[in-house]
Structure 1
Amino acid sequence: VLLIVGAITIVAAVMMALIQHDLKRLLGYHAVSQVGYMLLGIGTGNPIGIAGGIFHMLNHALYKGCLFLCGGAVEHKTGI
């Protein structure tokens, strides 16, 4: 079940991200798609998949926070 939900989440969120014109909305939909990858890893049920899903979760929290900060700084400087 987690594999199916993860795959649907990836595809749906990426499709929504492709039509966004606002940087923060694009990053938000990208974050949702990354949760789909985490679900795929955890849904495999084997130790390597679970470890990969958890590692991706921690890595995603770090880099997505930095991307939102950089995006906010760019929007602030450019006035967009």
Structure 2
Amino acid sequence: MIPIYCLHTPKKDKDFNLVVHSREDATPALEEVVKKEVMKLFETGIINCMPDSLRVDPVGVTSKTKCFKQPPRRFI
């Protein structure tokens, strides 16, 4: 196996300054994005509010429009 080396270096101007911009200001927090999406789903009626529950059981969450069908059981 012969190693290959890249000798290409990009040409830079004499006045070239490398600037790194922070992306935190432009990107909203993930919590805010999730909260907005959940509120949209709640307002359209796709999900129901569970005020007594602090946590949601992932097994109990189903869509109103689609019926959840269990796969057939296979007996061996």
Please say whether Structure 1 and Structure 2 have the same fold, judged by a TM-score greater than 0.5: no
- With normalisation by structure 2, the TM-score equals 0.27
- With normalisation by structure 1, the TM-score equals 0.26
Larger % of helix: which?
1
Larger radius of gyration: 2
